[in-house]
Structure 1
């Protein structure tokens, strides 16, 4: 999965990691930012670097 994937694909991947449906959806849509530990798990699973989430949050502000 790459960072250009649509939010529903990202949410499905996060759900496969064991996150709740609502939390996975909020992260995938950009409403929430994962903590650093979770961002590292996401990087290992999907090759999405932790900095992506911080940059995404900055661009939404």
Structure 2
């Protein structure tokens, strides 16, 4: 469940930071990216607010 507002300041415009795993084929010799496989999965995320609050919220 996504939070409706910041628990610290009440801001309703929260943002989500996501880390995404991307697959790609890289040359072992040159290190050049030969092919991108696209987005595979979101590895982790957390909500944050402009007031500085950041955290993962439990589903309620």
TM beyond 0.5: no
- Quick check: which one's helix share is greater? 1
Larger Rg: 2
> Which band: TM-score by shorter chain?
under 0.3
